[in-house]
Amino acid sequence: MNSLNSILVEGNLVRDPALSKTPKGTQVCTFSLASNRFYKADNESQKEVSFFDVEVWSRLAETCAENLKKGRGVRVVGRLKQDRWADSDGKNHSRIKIVGEHVEFKPEFSRNKDNDRAVAVAEEEPDYAPEEPSAAEEPPAGEDSKE
């Protein structure tokens, strides 16, 4: 039986997403998002920013690549995945990322020229059915790009 491995994170993209394909042709989209947390400490407002790497697969990958841009707000529901590898010197490395299984796009805002207010841009919600890649299609640990 699988153990519980679930995460929900909300934030804004820190750069445009990157779409690529596995050797078997399955699409994978990767992006990073920043999530802000505000709190008070000693009567002063504090800000804590966390950065998360996200990857999504198949049709969801295509939808994200088409609709996401740097700065866009998203909510990602998925699971954590740890990649482990050894470099050429034999030193072990690891990285944890989020494998997104559901992505919600937050509204985009633009300035209304008449009254200088931010207004939501009307858009249709993309219609997609998330697909889980088979273990054979996920790239082995260490083969995806290291940043």
Q: Confirm whether 130 is domain-assigned.
A: no
**For the CA atoms of 36, 57, 7, 129, what is the dihedral angle to 10 degrees?**
110
11 part of a folded domain = yes
In a domain, 131, yes or no: no
130 — pLDDT class (breaks 50, 70, 90): low
Note whether residue 52 is domain-resident: yes
Greater confidence, 21 or 1? 21
Inside any domain, residue 134: no
- Does 140 map to a domain? no
Task: Kindly report, residue by residue over 42-54, the tens digit of the pLDDT.
Answer: 999 999 999 999 9
H runs (alpha helix) in the chain: 58-67
Is the pLDDT assigned to residue 86 strictly greater than 70?
Answer: yes
Q: Give the CATH number for residue 108.
A: 2.40.50.140
Eight-state DSSP code of residue 146: P
* Domain membership of residue 71 as a residue range: 7-120
- Tens-place pLDDT, residues 94-113: 999 999 999 999 987 766 66
Question: pLDDT band at residue 1, thresholds of 50, 70 and 90?
Answer: confident
Query: What confidence tens digit (pLDDT) does each residue in 65-77 have?
Result: 999 999 999 999 9
Residues 104, 106, 108, CA angle at the centre, nearest 5°?
Answer: 140
Tell me whether residue 16 is in a domain. yes
pLDDT digits (tens, 9 = 90+) for 8-42: 999 999 999 999 999 999 999 999 999 999 999 99
Q: Is residue 87 part of a domain?
A: yes
Query: Which long-range contacts does 48-53 make (Cβ < 8 Å, 24+ apart)?
Result: 50/11, 51/14, 52/9, 52/11, 52/76, 52/97, 52/98, 53/95, 53/97, 53/98, 53/147
Tally of structural domains, the chain? 1
